[in-house]
Homo-oligomer: A and B are copies of this chain.
């Protein structure tokens, strides 16, 4: 990995951090948290997945703590949401779009970082998925909601898995380039957003069960 390539990786990672941070501040706004809660939730969702990844790789303190640049996106997101946001209607759409952007970037950067740290390909894909879904999972757990990850009327983890697996294959076959990376990002983003818009869903955990009671208190929401 050349120096310029790892610099691109840091910028992509910071972009993913920013997207997730905005989703955190938007959720804080929807839950009527204050501006400090907005900053905290933005930090948890944007830095949490990467911190978990770095703790698991176990090669020194997480980059979010050693590189202060990682603190800029949550601060920026909190300020932007505070000043620019005014309409209640578009919350969920915006939250999903920013979340999907973070997901698309993190499943790539997480997998590449794990491969660069010498993890085996299966573990690298797992860590890519963990990086991508971990922050959102922490966000929902912290805000005391049933994680979006488990919403049976939506598909969330599969796009991240597809992106992480593609990244690992491209990287191991030496075909991971700016073009293929952009393609993976676009496909994961489109997959995630379309799954949400069209209410794509996977089969329930038990074969043959009807989807009765979904959307009611029964499914834990």
Whether the Cβ atoms of A61 and B56 lie closer than 8 Å is yes
Binds B, one of A11-19, A65-73, A100-108: A65-73
Question: When the two chains form the complex, which single residue of B34, B35, B150 contacts A31, counting CB atoms closer than 8 Å?
Answer: B150
A32-50 toward B: CB 8 Å interface, digit per residue (1/0)?
A: 1111111011000000000
How many positions in chain A have a CB within 8 Å of any CB in the partner chain? Answer: 67
Q: How many copies does the complex hold?
A: 3
Residue of B nearest to A31 (CB): B220
What's the nearest-Cβ distance from chain B to residue A26, in Å? 9
A122-165: contact bitstring with B at CB < 8 Å (1 yes, 0 no)? Answer: 11001100000000010001111111011010011110000000
For A53-77 the 0/1 string (1 means CB < 8 A from B) is 0011110111001101001000000
**A173 within 8 Å of B (CB atoms):** no
Other A-B pairs beyond A33-B150, A58-B58, A143-B146, 20, CB < 8 Å: A28-B205, A29-B206, A31-B150, A31-B219, A32-B214, A34-B205, A35-B202, A35-B204, A36-B158, A37-B149, A37-B152, A55-B55, A55-B56, A68-B122, A71-B126, A85-B206, A141-B144, A142-B150, A144-B144, A144-B146
Q: Is A109 an interface residue (CB 8 A)?
A: no
* A34 close to B142 (CB less than 8 A): no
For the complex formed, measure the closest distance between the CB of A83 and the CB atoms of chain B, giving whole angstroms. Answer: 6
Q: How far is the CA of A51 from the CA of B130 in the complex (A)?
A: 13
* Shortest beta-carbon distance from A122 to chain B in Å: 5
Considering the complex, give the chain B residue whose CB is closest to the CB of A140: B144
Flag whether A89 is at the interface (Cβ < 8 A). Answer: no
